[in-house]
A and B are shown apart, each in its own frame.
Chain A
Amino acid sequence: MSEVSRPDSPSHDRLIERLTAELRPVRRVSPGWLAVSWLLVVVLFAGYLASMSDMHAMMRRLMAAPDMWLAALGSALTGVLAVVAAFMTSVPGRSTRWGLLPLPPLALWIWESGMGCARGWHLPGVHDASFGDSDHCFMFICGISLPLSLLLMVLLRWTFPLRPNLTLALGGLAAAGTAATLLNFFHPYDASVSDLVIHAVAVALVIGANRLFGERLFR
């Protein structure tokens, strides 16, 4: 039965000879280092944005209620863990369970953002983001996610994801989570329902765009 797949089958032999003839030394790919490289660029970029923003105002606002900083912590951890998961799933032999890594902080991010909205409904005088403000958030998340996603794609070119859809969705989540975290530098109001919906749409759009355009890179 296994006659067709003997190691000395002429067609396998020919292919093995061709692949051997093409053999060149390669530099090993470390998913951990790729994730660290991406995060390093993000930290430098965050530093640049922080230098342009009013840090005191941001800290005052984040510390005003626990859900504010917990939501920011959730989005930041989502970005970090999603990029680690994206690179871990991008090399063969690593468990796909890495894909679950960003889910707990993602749940925290969604839950605390929702809590912020609920608080906004009960407290009079809280400045609600209008759709005009949300428009700014949408453009910010999409605009910042674009270079972050492009950098991710460039780094993912070194890897070989066997499940490109999973890897790209995680990459999109990493870019969107990071962009939503960086938005805190320039977000002088509490989250409202419209704001939250716009954030969610922007994040979904970034994840979808990553999957759609990134897949072409891998095959």
Chain B
Amino acid sequence: MAAAQGGDAPAYQALLRECVPVIAASARRQGISPDRVDDVVQEVLITIHRARATYDPARPFLPWLRAIAQRRAIDGLRRHGRQAVREVYDPIAYEGHAEDTTEADDALDAQTRARTLRASIATLPPGQRQAVERLSLRGQTLEEAAAETGRSKVALKVNLHRAIKALRGKLGGREDAGEGDDV
């Protein structure tokens, strides 16, 4: 290890290879199941690499290695314990689980929906269009919209209600849209 600290790659490679059975034995002693011993061995090898500057050549190597191996085995057991509590093996649930990341065609779908909505809003009577644009799209309050448009709050509310009903009809494919004219 002292040679490895100085950058001696062949010595380091030989050392890591010799460490593998020691780590595996330590992991098994800690109660790691045989199918998970390999994972722990790899984690310990990576930890040895990252912690190699902390080895003191004046002290024996094995206690340093065992301390790392035991700690990583305990970490592995804890992680496995947590996973066992939190996760169940259920292939059907896994298959049926909706993807929560953004799919490539999600953006296209969103664009198409937005375009359709904009086109539908454009066909509304001016008062209803105004109510939708100000109250729903821009998020203005009734007071703000009333002050800026000069319409009463009641008129804006009725227009919005009619506009939403009309849009629902248009976008839902029904032709009996339009409950009435602007107020």
- State whether A158 touches B53 (Cβ < 8 A): yes
Is B18 an interface residue, CB under 8 A from the partner? yes
Q: How far is the CA of A4 from the CA of B33 in the complex (A)?
A: 11
Q: How far is the CA of A5 from the CA of B38 in the complex (A)?
A: 6
- State whether A162 touches B67 (Cβ < 8 A): yes
Is B114 an interface residue, CB under 8 A from the partner? no
* Stretch of A17-25, A114-122, A123-131, A146-154 contacting B (4+ beta carbons < 8 Å): A17-25
Q: How far is the CA of A7 from the CA of B5 in the complex (A)?
A: 21
- State whether A93 touches B63 (Cβ < 8 A): yes
* Stretch of B43-51, B91-99, B150-158, B168-176 contacting A (4+ beta carbons < 8 Å): B43-51
Is A6 an interface residue, CB under 8 A from the partner? yes
Q: How far is the CA of A25 from the CA of B16 in the complex (A)?
A: 16
For chain B, what secondary structure do more than half of its interface residues adopt (helix, strand, loop), or is it mixed?
A: helix
- State whether A7 touches B17 (Cβ < 8 A): yes
Count of chain A residues with Cβ under 8 Å from any Cβ of B?
Answer: 35
Q: How far is the CA of A16 from the CA of B44 in the complex (A)?
A: 11
Chain B 38-66 per-residue mask, 1 if CB under 8 angstroms from chain A, else 0: 10011001110111111111010001111
Q: B7 contacts which chain A residues (CB < 8 A)?
A: 23-25
Is A103 an interface residue, CB under 8 A from the partner? no
Chain A 1-44 per-residue mask, 1 if CB under 8 angstroms from chain B, else 0: 11011111101100111011111111111100000000000000
Q: How far is the CA of A203 from the CA of B94 in the complex (A)?
A: 48
Q: How far is the CA of A22 from the CA of B9 in the complex (A)?
A: 9
Is B180 an interface residue, CB under 8 A from the partner? no
Is B165 an interface residue, CB under 8 A from the partner? no
Is A185 an interface residue, CB under 8 A from the partner? no
Q: B42 contacts which chain A residues (CB < 8 A)?
A: 11-12, 15
A24 to chain B, nearest CB (A): 6
Residues of A in contact with B (beta carbons under 8 Å apart): 1-2, 4-9, 11-12, 15-17, 19-30, 90-94, 158-160, 162-163
